[in-house]
Amino acid sequence: MSEWKAKRFWAQAQVVPEGDGFAVHLDMRPVRTPAKAPLVVPTQAMAQEIAAEWDAQEGEITPHTMPFTRSANAAIDKVTAQHPQVADMIAAYGDADLLCYRADAPAELVARQAQGWDPLLDWAEAALGARLGVAQGVMHVPQPSDALTRLRGHVHDLDAFRLTAFHDLVSLSGSLILGFAAARDHLTPDDAWDLSRIDETWQVEQWGDDEEAAEHAAIKQASFFHAKRFFDLCGAV
C-alpha cells in the first residue's frame, strides 16, 4: 500500500496579523504546526518567507523544501515547551568550545587557529563578559564557572524562535562563541563558517578533498546560513 501524501489544496498563501504576531493562511485556513498549534510567528518578514514556501508547493507537499516552516514548527512545538532544557543544552557547548582546543603541531595549523580564534575569545570577553581558556589537544579542560554562568545567561535570554536558530548556529559550528558572533553580527555567516572549518580546511589542503565529506559539509553550511537568516527574521534584539 502506498503512503498517503498531502497535496496542495489552496490557491494562495496569505500573511495575516494575529495577536502580537503574524499567521499564514491558505485560502483563509490558518496553517497549524504538526502538533496542531497555530503557526504564529513574531514578525511579518518571517511570515512572508513561510507563505512563500507554501505558495511554491506544486502537487504533493514536500516539507524538505520548506525550511522556514520547519524552523517555526520547531520553535512552537518543541522549544517553547522546553525552553530551559534547550538553553542549557546549548550553553553546555561553552565548556567544550571548538575555539578552546588547539593543535600542538604542525606550526602552520597552530598559527591559523591562533590567528582565527584568539580574536574571537577576546571579543567574547569584551562583549559577553566571559573569558574562556585555551588548551592543546582534545582532553577536556574545565572552563571558569563565572564565564560559563554568564554565557548561560545570554543563552537563556533568547526567546524560543531565536533559540531555535541559535541551536543550529552553535551545533553546526561546534562553538558557542562562534554562534554568538554570527547571531550578533560580529562575523558574517561566511566568515563564521570558515572559522569553524579551519581544521577541516587544513586536512583538505594536505590530503585532498573527499566528495562525500564535501557534500555533507555543503549541507551543513546551507543549514548554518538558514539558521542565521531565521535568527535575523525574528527582528531586532
**Over the chain, what HEC string results?**
CCCCCCECCCCCEEEEEECCEEEEEECCEECECCCCCECEECCHHHHHHHHHHHHCCCCECCHHHCHHHHHHHHHHHHHHHHHHHHHHHHHHHHHHCHHHEECCCCHHHHHHHHHHHHHHHHHHHHHHCCCCCCEECCCCCCCCHHHHHHHHHHHHCCCHHHHHHHHHHHHHHCCHHHHHHHHCCCCCHHHHHHHHCHHHHHHHHHHCCCHHHHHHHHHHHHHHHHHHHHHHHCCCC
CB–CB of 168/148 below 8 Å? no
Alpha carbons within 13 angstroms on the beta-carbon side of residue 221 total 16
d(CA 108, CA 119): 17
CATH 3.30.2180.10 residue spans of the chain: 13-65
pTM above 0.85, yes or no: yes
Domain with CATH 1.10.3580.10 in the chain: 82-233
* Grid cell digits, residue 76: 512552537
Q: How distant, in Å, are the alpha carbons of 24, 41, 107 from that of 18? A: 9, 9, 57
Topology of 13-65 in CATH? Answer: ATP12-like (3.30.2180)
The pairing of strands 21-26 and 13-18 is antiparallel
Q: CA-to-CA distance for 237 and 227, rounded, in angstroms?
A: 16
pLDDT tens for the chain, residues 1 to 237: 344 457 777 778 899 999 999 999 989 899 999 999 999 999 999 999 999 999 988 878 888 899 999 999 999 999 999 999 999 999 999 999 999 999 999 999 999 999 999 999 999 999 999 999 999 988 898 999 999 999 999 999 999 999 999 999 999 999 999 999 999 999 999 999 999 999 999 999 998 888 898 999 999 999 999 999 999 999 865
CATH number of 82-233, picked from 1.10.260.40, 1.10.3720.10, 2.30.29.30, 1.10.3580.10: 1.10.3580.10
Residues making up the chain, counted from first to last: 237
**What is the model's pLDDT at position 2?**
41
